[in-house]
Structure 1
């Protein structure tokens, strides 16, 4: 009887050990909805590649909290309605622990009500300020906003003595939010919008709008607010029309793909991008140097392709959650959310991130560098 009891207890202990191992081996599920195809594929493709790369890398190193990570990804095709449906699937069916995604503002905002109701930590990769203002309990983004982009460009224009400019923005969520933010802060810099035109994200010729701008008296520079192929088309049209004005782009063109698409017309164009885009030109004393250098090396070795700021944003948003999970010691969603909000002095490819209960982005005006195309490559503008 005693031997039987010992065997039974031993068997129970063995079973419990197996059960505990199984529990420990359950993957931490990383949910993702990105625009890998469609007009925003320019942004979504490097975002997905970055997430895939680092999920694989962490798993090779033993995972997180002793558990493997599993990336559950859906491609919304740059369609906000699909993003909403996929977010619902991630939450209800896949039961992910957190979500990184929402390549575009439209996709992100279609997902926000779902993550807020379900209480799932959500790191958005979109650019518009509406993502984090007003603050939403479960929504964060460690990528800059259109308001910061507008002020950064206007600061440079003011420094160069410009007082009258033309704004050309796309009619998608990113462009329209950027338009509104530019209009709201332009007076602060004593700069006037003497022309204010828009174009559709699927338009293939913006010469009518640019002709109006060319015929507007007093224009000293053109500020383009858009992403994807649109800004490259605008840049080529400006060259074709013989418009010889300084051209600025917001933070929607931060990759070599823009230079490739715009061709020689890109020469001299100024745009905003994080330090990542000039990683090889950063001084050794720059605190971002080791972070961006490691990311560039890892991405280019894995994918045999050049990095973009959009992949860098995926890096930062992903690792902010990874660090939060480590500090929380669990994937309890409320604890992880609190630790994301407590992020301080995180140095990423996009700058230093300092979150607070009233700031779910944590980046300042100077997180964006002013770059210029010279001899077919990005350099820091002087």
Structure 2
């Protein structure tokens, strides 16, 4: 296998990676990925560690990296100066959340729930929606190995919620979307990325603030090729999320002249991955893409034992997480991963920590915050807390109009008779007719010596 070495950095002990920028033109994608973290130092060679199956690793230099920091979307409104609502309702806006507190995606639950709660707090600090405070009811989504999501949805629907924020997992959402949208309730996911939802028969009631895997998968594939890899192996979760990413990574690799030399599947609930890792190691790819959730904790040590260098490993949003407590220090140093969305700013992190002081991960917090804020603004625009009425306004409040960046600022414009274009922590949003965001960011992260993902800089991509 070929190890992709990354050096340099901005005072963090490791290099930053550039964020790949996407632009879609007409019916095709023009996909751009700038180089991997590290500098253009001369290539050297070193012996792989691990089993005798491992090949000697020759180091490939990646283009010089460039650091970046998170940023807030724009100026906030003054919650104390928001004018009184021009409409009223007898039924307060009630939002349910269907986010993971158990199961293989449970690490995503805390930042997403904090994002929901922060948005609700800010909305209610500004006087609420249509003269009443917003109410929120949290329920666990579990994962696809359980019936938790179905039970939670039935409970939320019995409480007459107007919208449900979740699920995080595309596979889980597929099990409940018919139940939710069939009841006339909005399903608004902050993290679903399966392309299947673009054309789903959802009665116009499904929305998401995360971009489709068409964007993330093809960005990652192009990015890997820009690092100099020619052959790629993949270990893939066999569900809607995993196979969607797999197909788009493979397409971009092959379009760039590379080859996927091995692709091994596993199922949710599996705990043994030796056969998949053995097959990948035998193929000796330059880069290995791990498309999983927390199964990566088991897969990574097996890959390392076969001589796969961390710098050859590429992760996705389902597993680009903090492994400082679960893997030995240095295990992942140099590995990289992608997460849709811009990087959380220090201000946003501080606000989230005020909600949940134990937070260590920020993934999809911005998308969750934006989902709730957009639902509240659409409810104001509709003058109603009815799910179908709110859905009819979501494209409008995210599209053409005066730019605004939080509930207080946006609702002030709405109540003054103006049109708004909400831009949030997840990006410009701007929904199309399918409920998909037409503009988004893909962030690339590189792991430091503590097994923590370090952000580079985010750039906007359009579909």
TM-score (norm 2): 0.67
Superposed displacement of residue 162, structure 1 = 2.1
CA distance in 2, matches of 1:82, 1:363: 32
- Aligned counterpart for 2:446 among listed residues 367, 372, 375: 372
- Asked whether the 8 Å contact 2:209–2:367 carries over to 1, the reply is yes
Between Structure 1 and Structure 2, which shows a larger proportion of helix residues?
1
Deviations 1:58-84 (A, max 9, x none): 334422221111112222332463323
CA distance in 1, matches of 2:110, 2:143: 11
Q: Where do 5+ consecutive residues of structure 1 fail to align?
A: 1-22, 280-291
Distance 1:129 1:202, change over 3 A: same
Q: For the structure 1 residues 85 and 43, does the alpha-carbon distance in structure 2 shift closer, same or farther, using more than 3 Å as the test?
A: same
What is the rounded CA distance, in whole Å, between the counterparts of 1:64 and 1:188 in structure 2? Answer: 49
CA contact (8 A) 2:92 2:385 kept: no
Give the equivalent residue in structure 1 for 2:131: 66
1:112 aligns with 2:177: yes
Unaligned runs of 5+ in 2: 1-87, 400-420, 458-463
For residue 338 of structure 1, the aligned residue among 392, 416, 419 is 392
Tell whether 2:104 aligns with 1:28. Answer: no
The higher-RCO structure (CA 8 Å, 6+ apart) is: 2
Compared CA separation, residues 234 and 144, structure 1 to 2 (3 A) = farther
Kept after mapping to 2: 8 A contact 1:312/1:350: yes
Structure 2 partner of 1:83? 149
CA deviation digits over 1:312-369, x for unaligned, max 9? 32112222212222333332333311221232354333322121214523334xx111
Distance 2:235 2:425 in 1: 28
Q: Deviations over 1:287-320 (max 9, x none)?
A: xxxxx44321111123112242133321122222
Q: Does 1:361 align with 2:422?
A: no
Q: Quote the residue 1:318 is aligned against.
A: 372
In the TM superposition, residue 25 of structure 1 has moved relative to its aligned partner by: 6.4
User: Within 2, Cα distance between the matches of 1:211 and 1:77?
Assistant: 30
Structure 2 residue matching 1:168: 3-state secondary structure? strand
* 1:90-169 equivalent positions in 2, closer than 5 A: 90-91=156-157, 93-124=158-189, 125-134=191-200, 136=202, 137-169=204-236
* Mapped partners of 1:381, 1:72: distance in 2: 35
Q: 1:57 to 1:129 in 2, by over 3 A?
A: same
The 8 Å contact of residues 188 and 208 in structure 2, kept in 1 or not, is answered as: yes
Whole-Å separation in 2 of the counterparts to 1:135 and 1:270: 36
Distance 1:336 1:359, change over 3 A: closer
TM-score (norm 1): 0.80
Bigger shift: residues 176-185 or 36-45: 176-185
Q: How does 1:264-303 map to 2 (within 5 A)?
A: 264-274=330-340, 277=343, 279=344, 292-303=345-356
